[in-house]
Amino acid sequence: MNESEPNAGDPVLAITDLEVNFPVYGGVVKALNRVTLQVGRGEIVGLVGESGSGKSVTAMMAMGLLPKGSFQVVGGGIRVLGRDILQAGEPEMRTLRGSTMSMIFQEPMTALNPTRRIGGQMCEVIRLHQRVTKAAAKGKAIALLSEMHIADAAGVMERYPFELSGGMRQRVLIAMAFSCEPRLIIADEPTTALDVTVQRQVLLLLQRKARASGTAVLFITHDMAVVSQLCDRVYVMYAGTVAESGPTAQVIRQPAHPYSRGLINATPEGVAPRSPLPAIPGTVPDLTRLPSGCAFRDRCRYGDKQCQQRPAPDSFHTPDGRQAACWHPQDRRLGEMP
């Protein structure tokens, strides 16, 4: 069997027990601690958490974009369509990026070359991974921009990135990500810098294009409201670990981990006008000196001696099939965080 064509039931992206450290003066930053997640064919999966939770490190590891020597893989593995990403050399990764997997970055002005026209950048990506003529590449680029609801697609091809609005630039990046028909797209907070109206438009375009093409999407965000609109399943990350995972609707409706509840409560929905948003107390722990036991215990009002003395389970299975790294998720009456 071709390595790039695994069994139909196999995940497009499979990260298993991944442990990644960053060496620093006097120790190491434990960026990822036994992270396990999967994205199946045609799925849109959310990866949500505060800044510093390990979301972007997970994405960069999957894409092979972290500089060699800047990190240490302590354990675990990453496979994309059966390929071992951790063992792949840079020439192989350059082939995989674009043709097999693509990434949509948070800030399009840093992802696009400001000195080159949009058309030249899109056609270069298409011709790099597909054997097509310049004319065919240009036609495909215009068609992709049109699918992103860009009215004057041919005119946009002649413009520079600084001549476009933030929403237009993000649509260009989405079009480029889909240009070589990848099997997996990793979107790293692509709508954070956009206002809510443009954000919704961009999310709908991404969702429709992914559904139509059958592309798997790992969508990284800090916003549970965005996850509820877009994602089939969700992984909630905290301090380099997966705190909870499961179908999005179930996690939103009845979270099993106190951290998930805190993120949900922090969204504006359901809060009276001019009232302060509920916030999770405290801060993310120092990743160079993680506490023993549950990493969330100092911020959790449900923490007890068991949480202090022993680590939380790697995965607790709830009756509805979700997983939560919490000692007693089935016993909690998870109301608002204080």
Residue holding tokens 């805190």?
262
d(CA 101, CA 91): 15
| Per-residue pLDDT at 6 | 53
Residue holding tokens 């979301």?
55
Tell me, what DSSP letter sits at residue 286?
P
Instruction: State how far the alpha carbon of 2 is from the alpha carbons of 23, 88, 181, in Å.
Output: 37, 16, 18
CATH class of residue range 13-100+182-331: alpha beta
| Per-residue pLDDT at 3 | 44
The helix (H) or strand (E) run that includes residue 38 is strand 27-39
- Residue 186: strand pairing partners: 103, 218
Question: What are the structure tokens assigned to 198, written together?
Answer: 């443009």
What residue segments make up the domains of the chain, in order of their start? 13-100+182-331, 108-181
Q: Identify whether the C-beta of residue 126 lies closer than 8 Å to the C-beta of residue 176.
A: no
Question: What are the structure tokens assigned to 277, written together?
Answer: 């948003």
Report the SS3 class of residue 224: helix
d(CA 64, CA 67): 8
Q: Identify whether the C-beta of residue 201 lies closer than 8 Å to the C-beta of residue 193.
A: no
Q: Identify whether the C-beta of residue 311 lies closer than 8 Å to the C-beta of residue 292.
A: yes
Q: In what order do the strands lie in the sheet with 72-80?
A: 27-39, 13-24, 72-80, 83-84
d(CA 56, CA 296): 20
Instruction: State how far the alpha carbon of 81 is from the alpha carbons of 101, 152, 185, 220, 288, in Å.
Output: 10, 36, 13, 20, 33
Q: Give me the tens of pLDDT residue by residue for the chain, a chain 338 residues long.
A: 344 455 656 899 999 999 999 999 888 999 999 999 999 999 999 999 998 899 999 999 999 999 988 999 999 999 999 999 999 999 999 889 888 999 998 877 788 999 999 999 999 999 988 889 999 999 999 999 998 888 899 999 999 999 998 888 988 999 999 998 899 999 998 877 677 888 888 888 889 999 999 999 999 998 888 899 899 999 999 999 999 999 999 999 888 899 999 898 888 776 778 888 788 888 888 999 988 888 998 898 888 888 887 766 655 676 666 888 888 775 544 444 33
| Per-residue pLDDT at 142 | 95
Instruction: Identify the CA nearest to 279 among candidates 50, 4, 23.
Output: 50
Q: Identify whether the C-beta of residue 53 lies closer than 8 Å to the C-beta of residue 239.
A: yes
| Per-residue pLDDT at 8 | 58
Spell out the residues 6+ positions from residue 282 whose beta carbon is closer than 8 angstroms to its own. Answer: 298, 299
| Per-residue pLDDT at 114 | 92
pTM: 0.89
Q: Identify whether the C-beta of residue 238 lies closer than 8 Å to the C-beta of residue 296.
A: yes
